[in-house]
Amino acid sequence: MILRNTIAGQLVVLLLIYGRHTLLSSAKTVTSEQMSLALPEPRAYLPDAQNLDFVYHDHEELTRFLRATSARYPNLTALYSIGKSIQGRDLWVMVVSSSPYEHMVGKPDVKYVGNIHGNEPVGREMLLHLIQYFVSSYNTDQYVKWLLDNTRIHILPTMNPDGYAVSKEGTCDGGQGRYNARGFDLNRNFPDYFKQNNKRGQPETDAVKDWISKIQFVLSGSLHGGALVASYPYDNTPNSRLLKGICRSSALCAMFQTYSAAPSLTPDDDVFKHLSLVYARNHAKMSRGVACKSATPAFENGITNGAAWYPLTGGMQDFNYVWYGCMEITLEISCCKFPPAYELKKYWEDNQLSLIKFLAEAHRGVQGFVFDPAGMPIERASIKIKGRDVGFQTTKYGEFWRILLPGYYKAEVFAEGYAPREVEFVIVEQHPTLLNVTLQASKYNVGSARKPKKERKQRHLLHDELQTPNE
C-alpha cells in the first residue's frame, strides 16, 4: 500500500496494531531531545477503554471515563455528583463496592478526595487508576474482593476542577490553578476548631461539608502534591494566630515556622500516626523521609503532624475529625505539584499498594450497634472513648465504628431520652472488636430529658465538655 510509505500511514498501521496503547511504549527511555524530534505521542485515550492511559484527563474526559466505568460495572460502581464548582463543573463521586447503590449495614463508608488544589493533579489521576484497578481486579484479586465486599469506597477525584482547568503541566511550584475560580484556597475554607474562619464559604467546600454531614465516613485521605509525606491532624494550633501579620515573605515564614512550629496533637494521636505510617510504609519511597529539596525539611518515617510542619487555618482534615469523627489524613504524593504526564505510571506504581492498604484500616478497632430496649437502633447516639475527647455518632441504623490500636478501652454512650452507659472492651490486632450496646430509657420522660448543648448541635459529634477555646 502507498499509505504504508507515508508517516500518516505508518501511524495508522501502528494504531491498528496497538489499539488503545500509546505509540511510545516507554516514555522513560526517550530523552527530551529525542521527544522534541519525534512525532507527537498520540492520545490513545478512549472513554470506555479497558485500560486507562497515563495522561492527564480534562474534566470532559474524566466525566466520560466515570460514566463509562459506571455503565460497564453497574454491580460495582455508582456515580453521583455532590454539587458543582463555580464554573458549573460537576463534583463527581464514584462509589466502588459490591453494594454501590445503598449503604451496607454494619460495613463502613470511607473516602478519598483529590485535587483540592487545582495545580496538584497527581492525586486526581491516581484516584482514576484506583477506580480502574478496583473494578478490573474484583474477580481476580481476593484482597480487593474482600475490601469491596466489606466497605463502601467513595472517590472524589477532583474537588477543584476549575483550578485544574487553568493549571499548567510541568509546573512544579507556584500558585497558578491552586485556588478555585474566585481565588479561594479550598483547604483554608472550612470551619476551624482553634480559630474562627471568616473566609466566605465556597460552593466546592459547601458541597463537601454537606456530603460528609450525610454519610458517616470512618476514614478518609486527601491527596495533594508538592511534598512526599503523610500529614495528620491537627493542622492548626491555639497559637496559629501569631503567624498573622508576620509571614509576609517565604524566607521570613520559613524562619518563623522553624522557630515556632510545634506538634498540635489530637486525643487520637496514636491512631493518626499509625494510619500515616500505613500509607508511608506501603509507599515505594515515602517512609524513607527524604526531603524533596535541600532547603525543605525531611520527615522522619515519611510522616508529620500538620501543625509541626506548618500551621494552617480552615483545613479539611481537622474539620472531618472534629466535626464528624472521620479520621482524615493529608497525603502529599509528589515533590512536583504538576509533573509531566510520562511520570504518572511511576506515581501509580509507588502509590497503588498504599491507597488500598490505607482504606482497609477502617476495619481496625471497634464497631457495633446501639439499640433501645426493644432492639431498635438509636440514631445519633453519641459515643466517646474515655480519655479521647473527640467523639462520634451512630448512623440511622444505630451503627458505629472507631479505629483504635490494641488495648483496653471504655466507651461512654449517651442519647437524648436514655440513661448514659459506660462499656469496657478490648481491641486486639487480628480483627475488629464487635460491641453492641443497649441503652435503657431515662427515668425522665423524653420531653424533659436534658437537651444537647449548643456546641453539640453545631458540631454534632463533640462531647458535651469539649469546648472551643476562646479567641
Tell me which H or E stretch contains 129: helix 122-137
Q: Note the maximum CA span of the chain.
A: 93
Peptide bond into 234 cis (omega under 30): yes
Q: For the stretch 326-341, what's the b/e string if a residue is b when 16 or more beta carbons lie within 10 angstroms of its beta carbon?
A: bbbbbbbbbbbbbbeb
Of the candidates 370, 365, 390, 372, the residue with the CA atom closest to the CA atom of residue 460? 390
- What string of H, E and C letters represents the secondary structure of 243-294? HCCCCCCHHHHHHHHHHHCCCCCCCCHHHHHHHHHHHHHHCCCHHHCCCCCC
**Active-site annotation holder among 332, 349, 361, 379:** 332
Of the candidates 408, 440, 460, 447, the residue with the CA atom closest to the CA atom of residue 191? 460
What is the residue whose three cell numbers read 485500560?
51
Dihedral sign (CA 269, 270, 272, 273):
positive
- Cα–Cα dist 109/228, whole Å: 26
Of the candidates 297, 289, 235, the residue with the CA atom closest to the CA atom of residue 265? 235
| DSSP notation for 47-81 | TT-SS--SS---HHHHHHHHHHHHHH-TTTEEEEE
- Strand order from edge to edge, sheet including 392-393: 392-393, 382-385, 407-414, 421-427
- Cα–Cα dist 224/273, whole Å: 18
332 catalytic per annotation: yes
- Cα–Cα dist 471/467, whole Å: 12
CA contacts within 13 A on the Cβ side of 64: 11
Of the candidates 63, 73, 72, the residue with the CA atom closest to the CA atom of residue 96? 73
- Cα–Cα dist 45/109, whole Å: 31
Interacting residues of 72 by C-beta distance below 8 A, sequence separation 6+: 48, 135
Annotated catalytic residues are 332
